[in-house]
Amino acid sequence: MRVLNRLLAPLAVVGTVVLLAGPAQAAPNDQDTSWVQAAHLSNLAEIAAGNAAQQQATTQEVKDLGAMFVQMHTQLDSALAPVAQQLGIQLQPEPTAEQQAQLKAVQANTGRAFDTAWIAQQIGSHSTTLAATQQELKAGQDPTVLAQAQTATPVVQQHLDELRALAGQYGVPTSVPAGSGGQAADGGLPTSSWALIGVGGAALLAGGAGLVRRRATQA
């Protein structure tokens, strides 16, 4: 929890700066706008995933990580919302349909498979969030948005580190069961077979047709 306080302490400062700053002096560029919107959506998605972990995970580690995500992404979003409001950036009320579908797919797993799928999905979403935040730090313009990205970076990095550590407990796969149909094991007929069948079929048709025609003529 001490780590949590240290990571989130800058949020209070950023929030105060935003409230005291009054109307924005510099317009955010497209990068700033898209990052604020994406960061908000990822906060919403991580909060939903954290709640799902607390309800469905079988291991205490995943439940605890889920609880931490709910708390920290709620705080990140509480600091982000006034920035968006001040800059006139519209925020979505809920995660995207794709984000909701991804969580639903994870929730379709039961038992330990849920924990495995949840950790993997969360590594993916946190990697994407961190990559987007690094892009904002590189190409963003608005100081208040950049401050938000600076604050979010160590939080998301810490989540990613903890997820990777947890995934490490499962180790690397010792088996890759990747086929059950047997269709790829079918050999089929070689090309030479099809050539013989084609020529033979044509001869059969020609011969048969000739015989039928001859019989009809004789009749």
Partner 1 sequence: MSRPRLRHLVLVGAGTVLVGTGLLLPAEQPRAAAPDFAAAPPAATSSAPPLQPPSAPATPQPPDTPQPPVTTPPPPPIVPVAAAPVSVVLPASADPVPLEPVGTLSSGALLLPERPTVLGWFAAGAAPGDPAGTAVIAGHIDSAVYGAGPLEGLLALDPGDVVAVTDAAGVAHRYAVASRTSYPKASGGVPAETFTRDGPPQLALMTCGGAFDERTGNYADNVVVLATPVA
Q: Which two tokens stand for residue 110?
A: 């039961």
Specify the residue, 38 or 91, whose C-beta has the smaller distance to partner 1: 38
Nearest approach, Cβ of residue 24 and partner 1 (Å): 26
**Contacts with partner 1, residue ranges (CB under 8 A):** 102, 105, 109, 112-113, 116-117, 119-121, 123-125, 127-128, 130-132, 134-135, 137, 160, 164, 167-168, 170-190, 192-197, 199-208, 210-211, 214
Specify the residue, 18 or 44, whose C-beta has the smaller distance to partner 1: 44
Nearest approach, Cβ of residue 30 and partner 1 (Å): 14
Nearest approach, Cβ of residue 19 and partner 1 (Å): 28
Q: How far is the CA of 9 from the CAs of 50, 70, 129, 208, in angstroms?
A: 22, 17, 21, 91
Residue type, 60: Q
Nearest approach, Cβ of residue 210 and partner 1 (Å): 4
The answer to whether 79 and 14 are in contact (CB under 8 A) is yes
117's CB contacts (< 8 A; 6+ apart) are: 105, 106, 109
Specify the residue, 3 or 195, whose C-beta has the smaller distance to partner 1: 195
Specify the residue, 93 or 182, whose C-beta has the smaller distance to partner 1: 182
Interatomic CA distance for residues 141 and 129, integer angstroms: 18
Q: Which two tokens stand for residue 45?
A: 């998605």
Interatomic CA distance for residues 6 and 10, integer angstroms: 8
